[in-house]
């Protein structure tokens, strides 16, 4: 099965990369009194923001990072400092506010579909109960 082969390949690749990541260190130690920021970093131009809260399969709308330096995860950035093993990163942020926003959008979409469906049942071709002058009997 292709999914099992892909999973097996991914696990073996990841298992090989993890020890490398764990041995990496920042080549330039921070100066005394300087804290390493865990907040969002200045990304510059090398990334594309995530659009809304896309499905897991919709990677086109995930964030795209053309360098590990623009990724939000400070531990990942620190682990990849000075290493070129990763050339591109996809990001998918899921937060409570994004989940709520998506649920509201889906509810609004359903309501609009129901309105459209109800509108289709009215108007042309419908018998509104008026006598059209023809004799049925």
**What pLDDT digit, counting tens, does each position of 42-53 carry?**
666 778 898 888
Find the range with the poorest average confidence among 10-19, 40-49, 109-118.
Answer: 40-49
SS3 of residue 90 by DSSP: strand
pLDDT at 93 over 90: no
- Give the mean pLDDT of 3-13: 85
Sorted by where each begins, the domain ranges of the chain are 41-118
- Which tokens is 8 given? 């097996």
pTM reported for the whole predicted model: 0.46
DSSP-assigned states of every residue in 20-65: HHHH---SSPPPTTPPPP-S----TTSEE---SS--TT-GGGSEEE
pLDDT band per the 50, 70, 90 thresholds, residue 38: very low
DSSP letter at 73 equals -
- Give the mean pLDDT of 38-64: 79
């Amino acid at each position: 099965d292709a999914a099992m082969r892909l999973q097996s390949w991914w696990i073996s690749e990841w298992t090989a990369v993890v020890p490398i990541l764990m041995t990496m260190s920042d080549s330039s130690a921070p100066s005394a009194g300087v804290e390493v920021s865990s907040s969002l970093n200045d990304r510059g131009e090398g990334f594309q923001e995530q659009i809304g809260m896309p499905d897991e399969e919709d990677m086109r709308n995930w964030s795209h990072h053309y360098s590990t330096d623009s990724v939000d995860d400070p531990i990942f950035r620190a682990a990849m400092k000075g290493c070129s093993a990763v050339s591109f990163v996809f990001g998918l942020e899921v937060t409570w506010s994004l989940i709520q926003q998506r649920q509201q959008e889906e509810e609004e979409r359903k309501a609009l579909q129901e309105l459209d469906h109800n509108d289709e049942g009215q108007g042309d071709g419908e018998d509104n109960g008026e006598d059209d002058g023809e004799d049925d009997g």
